Every structure is written in C-alpha cells, then in structure tokens.
Structure 1
Amino acid sequence: MTETKTEDRFKEATSSEIDDADIAKDRAALGVWAASRSQELLSTATPEAIRNFAHGYGDDNPLYTDPAYGQATRWGGQVAPQIMAAVLNAPLRGDKLPKELRGGSYRGIHAFVSGGTWDWYRPIYPGDTLYSFSGLESVEEKESEFAGRSVIRVLRDVKMNQRAEVVGVYRTLVIYTERKKAREKGKYSTIEDPSYTKEDIAALDEIYAAEKVRGAEPQFWEDVVVGDDMGKMAKGPLTTTDMVVFHAGGYGFVPYGLKTGRLAWKNRQRIPAFFIDNEYGVPDVAQRVHWDSEWAKAIGNPRAYDYGVLRECWIHHFLTDWMGDGAFVVRQHDEIRKFNYQGDIQYLTGRVDGKRDEDGMALVDVAVEVRNQRGETTAQASASISLPSRDKGAALLPDVPKDLQRDAVRMFERHGELLKAQS
C-alpha cells in the first residue's frame, strides 16, 4: 500500500525517542517551585471573558454568562466557573531558575493530558487577575500499552489573584509518548467511523432538551441522599468546530500556543520541534491532532480527538448544573481513560457517593462517569462539593493551608520587588 505524504513526513519528523537526560533533569527539578512567566491568552476575568469561556465548553449558566443575574445570589454578582482558573495567567515576576532545575524539555515527544486534580479555595470575580507559581511534583517512567516507553509527570500549579489569595491548586497528569512507537502499535486505527441516523440525532436532542441548570433553587445538604442519581448530560458529536470554539473561549495552549502569520513564523523559530510539515509541505503545529484527522492517523489514531482539559470542563459543567448557585466545588479529580474522537458522543452521568460534615462544611462526595456511544468509559471523576445547609446556612469555603498561603504571599512580594526594581 502506498503511504500518504503525511505518513512520509511523519517518518521524517517523528523518529524522536524519550531522552534519559530529560528524565534525569525532571528528577533534579522535583519540588522546585518557580514563578510562572507565561502570558496566557487571558489573564484577567472580565465579564465578557467569563461568558466566552463558559460558552467555549457549552455552558449557558446565567451565573457565569449574565452579569446582572449574579446580583441576587450569595456572590453578589457574576462569578467565573471555578475551572476557568486553568486558562487565566498573567506573568509573575520571579527569580530565574538555574538551567539544571528546569526539568526536561521532551522536544518532539507527543504529550497528552491524562487527568488532573483541582483543589479550590476562592471564587473568581470579574476584574480578578490570576498569577501562578508551579513546578514538577512527580515523575514516573513506565511502559505504556499505547506507545511503549512513556513518562508520566504531575505538574502542580498554584493559582492566586492580585491580592495574593490562593484561588486553587491544579495538579495535571501529563503522559509523554514516543510518536514513532505509537504509530507502530496502531492499536486504535481499527475503530470504525461513527454514523448517525436522523433518529439518532433526535434522541440526542431529547437529552439536550432535558438538561437543566439548577440555578437559584438551593441544593440543600439535608435533602441530598446517598445513591441519588445526578441526571444525564450529553456532549457531541465532537467536531472541529468544538475545538475552534474552545480555543476562542480562552484555551491558549501556552507555552506553545496557536499563532498565525508572522507570529507563527516567530513561534516556529522559538520551538521548531513543535512544527511538523503537513501534506502540503507546510510547517504546522503538532497539536493539530485535535482537528486534523490525517495527522492523527499518522500517529496511530483513527481520527482527530479532543483535549483532556476540555473533558475536565465538561465534567465541571455537569457538577455546576447539578449543585446550584449557592454551592462551591471544593475538589475535582478526573481521569481520562480513552480518546474522544471526532464524531463521538459523550454521555455524562453521576451519583452521590457520600455525605459528611468536615470543619463545618456540609460536603457531598459524588462520582461522575463519561461514556461514549460505543458504551466505553472514556473518563471518570470524583468530586467534593460544599452545599448550603438548612441548619448551618450558606455553603462554606475551605480554608487555605497556611504554608500554601505563605508561599503565595512570598512569591507575590518578590513579584512586587522585581517590578519596583525595574521602574
């Protein structure tokens, strides 16, 4: 069989293998925290940015999208979906780390998000600018079923606002695989393309029509029963448009980014390994696996597929629709189990697993499952939610650990010192 131009260029550009030196650099960098100097696509949560981010993953909750609506809630105005902290970042000034403590670069190695854990402490209001300091929390080398040798890294990002208040901590699990071996395996190349009838789409539309934002109706802790069904939500079928809308909503994929024209040329000079020729011989971003099915096939997948962080947002959407305006997600842990390919539908369901009183917070623990139209579990999650109580009143926010808040203040003080020295 004759290979396509894309496959030929894949062979030329993706013979990279994981370098032992990168793993050694990672191990030297464990537990070293540094100011994040990245300028995300968004840094400040303006009312429009909040609305557009929510719309970027399909959320029309008026608490996030209508500035006037929030005035009647406990928050006193519009707030952002808590998971918006993932895409907000302004450059934080800090001392530059020595090269030997910056971790491995893994240039030319395919990376994908396999899951993450959020611990949230404070809401995000319009006008809040988020900064972060981050570092490598763990690194593990293993043999992957999909791609042979792989490296699993957990990256910790501490997000704080302009008052040095810790908003949340995000731990991202990222898997690095050798593309060449991924292609040779070809495990997923036999998955058939989906095909839907008008009746199939009508059945999907019925699910969309039945979805509801709980909103102003309180979800009281006393009324929740262990074993409760949390309802059903649909997402899909996945299209290239979904990827475009998610990026337009604020997902910048920093530090790589999406650029055009002269800015794309500059980006190619900065990170040439991130660009691989397409079928026309044009250098294009490696992350086009999320919208270019031919490129996705070249690395062993049947079609283009979504971002793990997009499914994290979908799970968060499911939680916030269920919990109502007055609640607060304390923790969300999710695991991405399978790819979500173009044309796939994802169905989110959940149940209440437990109730507890912790430090005065009326908490419920829930489990969420994400399954595609083939009946496969593609993601799963657990979450803890602080609910309002008939006896205790409004849902409480968790206390920020003292050492974490101290680190945030120290980092922000250094930021101010460096700004002052520059002026």
Structure 2
Amino acid sequence: MTKKTLDCSDLDQHMGKAIAPAKMKEPLHNNDIRRWVQAMHYPNLLHYDHDFAAEGRYGKLVAPQSFAVACDDGHGAGPACVGCIPDSHLIFGGDEWWFYGPKIFGGDEITNEKIPYDYSVKETSFAGPTCFQRGDNNYYNQHGDFVARQRSTAIRYSREAAVEMGAMEPSEDPVWSDAELKELEDRKYEYIKMMHDLGHGKRYWEDVQVGDELPVRVIGPHSIASFTTEWRAYLFTIWGGTHRPGMDMEAMGFTKEFAGHENDPVMERDNPEWTDGAYFGPSRGHLFPEWAHRIGMSRAYGYGASMGAWILDYLGGWAGEWGSVVHSKANYRGPAFTGDITIMTAKVVDKIVDEDNGHLIQVECKMVTQANAVMATATAEVALPTKG
C-alpha cells in the first residue's frame, strides 16, 4: 500500500479569521423547536407540549440547549472546515459547549459568528494522516445576548486512504426480534418516565452525591428513516430558510463526486434539489450506503452534531427545567450506524461550587452500541438549584 500524505498547507491563512455568519431568514417558530426534539428522540414536555410548558418556569415553550446548533447553516462544522485539503472528506470529531444563561424561544432570531480556531495532523488507523480541525461558533440572540459557544472538531482525511485501509468494511444491519424491540421500547420509557416524575420540580444539588448514576437513556435502532428525520430538523436543510454562505466544496478539497452544491444560494434558486445534502453533496453518505462505502464507512451513518445534541438532552432532561448544562466536552469515537442502538450512561464524579456558575455537578458520560463499542465520551458540568 502506498503511503498517503495529507496537504494541509492552505489552512494556516484561515485561522482566527471570521467567516460569513449564519442566520435564518425568519424568526424561530415553536414548531421548529418541536421538530427538533422529535427528531432528536427527546420527548421532554417542556419543549413540545404547550399546556405543560405554560405551567412551568418560563410560562411558554422553550428550546432545549441542544437547539442552538439547529440555528447554524451547517450544524457547527463551518469554522472547522475552512481551507483546502485536496481529495479529502470530513466527519465530526467532537463538540465542546459553553452556555451563558439566555434560553432560546419561538420568535427569537439567532446569529452564529464563526471563527476558525486551530488544527493538528495525527496518524490514525482509519485513514493514515488525518487533520483534526477546530472552529468556534458563537451564538447570539436578537438582543445581542451571548447564548452559547460551540467549539467543533472536524476530522478531515483522505477518502482514498480510508477506503484502501479498510478500517470499516461494508457490513449488514443487525437484526432485532420483536421481543428485543419491545424490550428496547420499555428501556426507552424508563428515561421518559424519569422526566415525567420530575415534572416542574427541582433536582437539588444537595440531593445528588458523587458516585450517583444517571438513568440510562436508549435511542434506536437507528435507520435511514431516523437519520433523515434528524437531517430535516436542522433548519439550514429547508429550501430558502437560510442566508447561504455560498461554500465552494471543490475548492475545499472535496472530490468532485461528493462536492455538489450544498449551501449554494445561486443553485438553490435554480434547482434546489442539487443543494440538498441528503441527495447530493458531501452529506449523502449518511443516507445512502453506497456513498457511505465510498468514504470508508461500513453502513449509512448518523450525524456527529446529533450525537452532541443527544448528550446535552440527556443531561438536560435529568437536570430538569431548573437546572442547566453550563459546559460539555464530547469526543466522538464512532458514528451511529443503521441497525445499531445507542446506550447512554453517566456518573457523578464531583460536586463543585463555582463563583460564576453556582452549584455544579460534574458528570462523565459514555455512549456505546449494543455491542459495547464506544461511540462517544463526554465530561460535563451541570448547574442545579440549591435548597438554601
């Protein structure tokens, strides 16, 4: 096998330089929030049920903290994918989030300021020389309030090398019996019932102890249908909904068969189907197994930004409406493949009193498949109310 190289020399000129900000063309709607939690498999009444939300802390529907990424024009990847790496492809490597207090509601207008941060090149068993590139997404509302910062990591690699090295050979979806599927639905409901039981109540900092384990959260089995539902919940995938930045995918190094016209404002007015990443362009490997194989993936696979959302929702649902995630750092080890399930667990590892963020619970979170293959790990700090 020929030793592969990865030319990242063009990236230096882009670091630290802001790129076109992202903004939806119209204010957010409650149904945008409802669509999001439905797609993320997060049935928290606070985010979709009008009557329940009206009785709660905010008096109306409020978006989950994970929803900020839905207000971007590329699920946070934009500032982590600048500059040309010839003949490359991209998958998500992780997200670090900081939240500053303001919540997102229907009627808000969110703008994302995007700034490339840094990159490094490491040798991997997946594709040989691999670029780990990071970029910041700074989300503000219409009042100028700083809602959140998302520091995304993109993994950029030689598509040819990934296919040649064969770290992920094509494979078939696992088969689940009716009894197994019924058991999975029961396991899913255990987490949902935990949210129902907490309701509008408070989970107090004093009542949580180091060593406590959070209720298990199960998602799946994943399918092309579920991944498509996720994709459609990202608002930038809707025709005409976003001020498009006009990204040139070929100029960034994507091979011609994958480059397409995703996020192309000119083509969107001429033939919008060509601008839709679900069918053409670099994102179609998610929904079409043939194209997944062409970038070194074993089957159709899910979105890294969705995995980050699952983690934030998992912790947010446990914290309840009086708690909130203040920081989360997640590393993605492997995608959600069709046929697999995702099992999420977390353990309390510390209790902190912080001058800026109050009383915090630190947790370590893990996301695995039914075969115990690690999909992601995360460390997060969650603010909870106190009895004092």
Identify the TM-score tier after normalising by the shorter chain. 0.7 to 0.9
Separation in 2 of the partners of 1:371 and 1:19?
A: 30
- Greater alpha carbon shift after TM alignment, 65-74 vs 347-356: 65-74
Residues 84-119 of structure 1: per-residue CA shift (max 9 Å, x gap): 1112148xxxxxxxxxxx951346521011111010
Rounded Cα–Cα distance in structure 2 between residues aligned with 1:310 and 1:247: 9
Q: Secondary structure at the match of 1:231?
A: coil
- TM-aligned CA deviation for residue 345 of structure 1: 0.7
Q: Which residue in 2 is equivalent to 1:85?
A: 68
Q: Does 1:230 align with 2:214?
A: yes
Q: Do residues 359 (structure 1) and 355 (structure 2) align?
A: yes
Counterpart of 1:52 in structure 2 is 35
- Residue of structure 2 equivalent to 1:202: 182
**Other-structure match for 2:201:** 217
Match of 1:181 in 2: 161
Once the 2 structures are TM-superposed, how far is the Cα of residue 34 of structure 1 from its aligned partner? 4.1
User: Hey, what's the Cα distance between the residues in 2 that align with 1:314 and 1:31?
Assistant: 29
Match of 1:252 among 236, 239, 247: 236
- For residues 319-334 of structure 1, the aligned pairs below 5 Å read 319-334=315-330
Q: Residue 312 of structure 2 aligns with which residue?
A: 316
Letter in 2 for 1:357: V
| Alpha-carbon distance between aligned partners in 2 of 1:72 and 1:268, rounded to the nearest angstrom | 42
In the alignment, what sits opposite 1:350? 346
Cα displacement (A) at 1:60: 1.6
Once the 2 structures are TM-superposed, how far is the Cα of residue 329 of structure 1 from its aligned partner?
1.0
| RMSD over equivalenced CA pairs, Å | 2.9
Q: Provide the TM-score with structure 1 as the length reference.
A: 0.76
Letter of the 1:205 partner, please give it.
E
Residue identity matched to 1:304: A
Are the equivalent residues in 2 in contact too, given 1:27–1:103 (CA < 8 A)? Answer: no
- Would the aligned equivalents of 1:220 and 1:390 in 2 still touch at CA under 8 Å? yes
What SS does the corresponding residue of 2:321 show, helix, strand or coil?
coil
**2:366 is the alignment partner of 1:369:** yes
- In the TM superposition, residue 43 of structure 1 has moved relative to its aligned partner by 5.7
3-state SS of the aligned residue for 1:188? coil
Residue 267 of structure 1: how far off its partner (Å):
6.9
Pair 1:240-2:228 in alignment: no
Partner residue, 1:63: 46
In the alignment of these two chains, the number of paired residues is: 351
Deviation at 1:387, TM superposition (A): 0.7
Give the TM-score taking structure 2 as reference length. 0.82
Which digits, 9 at most, give the CA deviation of each residue in 1:277-321, with x for residues without a partner?
A: xxxxxx932321111112212333221111111111111221122
State the Cα deviation string for residues 245-302 of structure 1 (Å, max 9, x = none).
112222536766479xx7396579999xx99xxxxxxx93232111111221233322
1:263 to 263, 268, 276: 268
Long gaps (5+) in structure 1: 1-16, 91-101, 276-282, 392-423
Structure 2: runs of 5 or more not aligned: 74-80, 238-243, 248-260
Question: 1:228–1:352: 8 Å Cα contact kept in structure 2?
Answer: yes
Is the contact made by 2:262 and 2:280 (CA closer than 8 Å) also made in structure 1? no
Shift in Å, 1:209: 2.5
SS in 2 for 1:115: strand
CA distance in 1: counterparts of 2:36 and 2:139, whole angstroms? 17
1:119 maps to which residue?
98
Which is higher, the Rg of structure 1 or of structure 2? 1
Q: Given that residues 289 and 305 in structure 1 are in contact (C-alpha distance below 8 angstroms), is that contact kept between their aligned partners in structure 2?
A: yes
Residues 214 and 318 in structure 2, CA contact (< 8 A), matched pair in contact too: yes
Indicate how the Cα distance of structure 1 residues 107 and 49 shifts in structure 2: closer, same or farther if over 3 A, else same. farther
Contact 1:345–1:372 (Cα < 8 Å) also in 2: yes
The structure 2 residue matched to 1:386, chosen from 369, 377, 383, is: 383
Structure 1 CA distance, aligned partners of 2:190 and 2:378? 22
Q: Distance in 2 between matches of 1:268 and 1:233?
A: 36
**Paired position in structure 2 for 1:398:** none
Q: Which residue type is aligned with residue 227 of structure 1?
A: G
Does the alignment pair 1:72 with 2:55? yes
Task: Specify the alignment match of 2:241 in structure 1.
Answer: none
Residue 11 of structure 1 is matched in structure 2 by none
Q: Is 2:32 aligned against 1:31?
A: no
Describe the SS at the equivalent of 1:230: coil
